[in-house]
Amino acid sequence: MPSVSFVSLGCPKNLVDSEKMLGLLAEAGCPIVSGADGSADVLVVNTCGFLAASRDEAVGILKEAAGQKSRGEIKRLVVAGCLVQRDGRGLLDAVPEVDALVGVHNRADIVRAVTGKTPTQIRKTRAAKGSTKSAAATQGPPAGSLLFLGEYHASSWVDANKSDTARLRLTPSHYAYLRMSEGCNQKCTFCTIPSIRGPMHSKGVDEIMAEARELIADGAVEINLLGQDTTSYGIDLGYGPGLSGLLRTLNTLDGVEWIRLMYAYPSDFTDEMIDAIAECEHVAKYIDIPLQHINDRVLKAMYRRVTRKQTEALLEKLRTRIPGVSIRTTFIAGFPGETAAEHRDLRDFIRGFGFDMLGVFPYSNEPGTPAHRMKSHLPPELIDERVEELMLSQQQVAFKRAAARKGERLRVMIDGYGDSGVYPARHQGQAPDVDSVVYVDGGEYDPGQFVDVKIAGTRDYDLLARPATRSLSVLR
């Protein structure tokens, strides 16, 4: 079977797709190799096509891969993911060397795109030869046979792609991402995701529990729940208990310490959900709630279905009913027509509320979205200025909040092996890959181990800590 090297771009949802595709390829018998040593027959790039910047990054990587192919370093180039779903065959104008395109609704076809055979044909070949090793099957389909597997059928995700079991995971084994739903039914005017990922499909509770058990058996003590809009969980299934029911059920699992909810849409956040987060022992006291803006006119133009007053009331409720909660959000700077006063509204809100973590995206003018057709688009330089001002506002907030934690005792999870005895770790209010971290100085640990620490200082956004039971005189 052809050996495969894999590049995964974009967000954790795309990472789950990458892990699933790697699992399918490994199951089919393809050796998975690092691209760096030049031993791969096929290179798969799982792309992100959400924003212009991510598209540019993906095309740059594909052009480099096309160079590898023309030098004979790889035999075949396969492109998967959001960019395929968005641009389809148009991607070939930018990178004609691509051999196969696999859209997000067709990820089960990755085996065919890489080997030229379906998993069933591979199994039959193996059975006929009586060996799993000697399936001299193929080194990929003949050159020139472009495969385009990017059609969307309403049932295709449900039938073929829904299960994320049997993944070959790319995260460290102690934490994992679990996709609870795919697609989105919201209609935010700046967003391309519903047109790429389709309408919302929730997985059933049983299926999510089975996936969670598999991840726990594979070593995960932290499970991060993903979906484009996690607060709408279960509505499409007619599942009455919704997100709160799912969280309470997941909380009964043995072996998991932290269950973390990502991407909570604000207008559908109910009191039952807040109670479930507050009451469930293993649900991390962490809310990732993308707010996008705070000014009412801009929120309306974004079609966010929530006002400033409602947002403030919800945030207040989250803070009072979930003691110690960490709140992360994202905002968009420079939405079409955003006035200087509306920008100041957002800046002052950021300064005043004190989010634990915050990201700011420059507005990206995406063709096909309602915002693209709006008037009064702002010049890129002004958008960049506004992004910078918002990020600097948050920096002051975050540094102050971090400094105020000095002396606090926290339970952290070790995230990796440290350099010079200093281990990167996180407390339950810090999500992997996107948030600040805690550096633990002193002791010897393994990733996934929980340690009680005392905060001794800060380094920019990060916290510096010592084991709570030890007293070290020097902290690097």
Q: Which stretch binds ligand SF4 (CB under 6 A): 184-192, 248-256, 389-397, 458-466?
A: 184-192
Q: How far is the CB of 225 from ligand SF4 (least distance, A)?
A: 15
Burial class (CB in 10 A: 0-12, 13-18, 19+), 152: middle
Report how far residue 212's alpha carbon sits from residue 223's, in angstroms, rounded to the nearest whole number: 7
Nearer to ligand SF4, 99 or 288 (CB): 288
Q: How far is the CB of 371 from ligand SF4 (least distance, A)?
A: 11
Q: Residue written as tokens 């950021």? A: 350
* Cβ distance to ligand SF4 smaller for residue 23 or 290: 290
**Interacting span for ligand SF4 (CB under 6 A) from 84-92, 95-103, 190-198, 267-275:** 190-198
CA separation for the pair 292, 202 (Å, rounded): 24
The residue from 186, 195, 251, 330 that contacts ligand SF4 (CB under 6 A) is: 186
CB of 156 to ligand SF4, least distance (A): 20
One-letter amino acid for residue 270 of the chain: T
Q: Is 175 helix (H, G, I), strand (E, B) or coil?
A: strand
Choose one: 82-90, 187-195, 271-279, 308-316; the region binding ligand SF4 (CB under 6 A).
187-195
Smallest separation (angstroms) from ligand SF4 to the CB of 197: 8
- The H or E element that residue 458 is part of is strand 450-459
Distance separating alpha carbons of residues 230 and 233, to the nearest angstrom: 5
According to CB under 6 A, which one of 61, 193, 209, 456 is a site residue for ligand SF4? 193
Between 135 and 371, CB nearer to ligand SF4: 371
User: For ligand SF4, which residue of 4, 28, 188, 220 counts as binding (CB under 6 A)?
Assistant: 188
- Using DSSP, state whether 297 is helix, strand or coil: helix
Residue 186 vs 310, nearer CB to ligand SF4 = 186
At 76 the three-state DSSP class reads: strand
CA 280 to chain centre: 23
Q: Residues with Cβ < 8 Å from 158, sequence gap 6 or more?
A: 201
298 near ligand SF4, rule: CB under 6 A? no
**Member of 65, 191, 291, 397 binding ligand SF4 (CB under 6 A):** 191
- Nearest to ligand SF4 of 239, 361 (CB atom): 361
Binding mask 223-242 for ligand SF4 (x = CB under 6 A): -----xx-------------
Rounded Cα distance, 27 and 198, in Å: 28
The tokens for 333 are 């700077």
Q: How far is the CB of 229 from ligand SF4 (least distance, A)?
A: 5
Buried b (16+ CB within 10 A) or exposed e, 173-188: ebbbbbbbbbbbebeb
Instruction: Report the C-alpha gap between 423 and 440 in whole angstroms.
Output: 5
CA distance 469 to 387: 42
Nearest approach, Cβ of 182 to ligand SF4 (angstroms)? 11
From 14-22, 181-189, 266-274, 454-462, give the range in contact with ligand SF4 by CB under 6 A.
Answer: 181-189
The number of C-alpha atoms within 13 Å of 352 and in the hemisphere containing its C-beta is 10
- Please, which of residues 251-270 interact with ligand SF4 by CB under 6 A? 265
CB of 462 to ligand SF4, least distance (A): 28
- Rule CB under 6 A: choose which of 81, 194, 266, 362 binds ligand SF4: 194
Nearer to ligand SF4, 220 or 332 (CB): 332
CB atoms within 10 A of CB 120: 9
Contact with ligand SF4 (CB under 6 A): which of 51, 184, 226, 357?
184
CA dist 272 → 225, 237, 280, 305 (Å): 18, 18, 12, 20
As a whole number of angstroms, the distance between CA 91 and CA 76 comes to 16
Q: Which residues bind ligand SF4 (CB under 6 A)?
A: 184, 186, 188, 191, 193-194, 228-229, 265
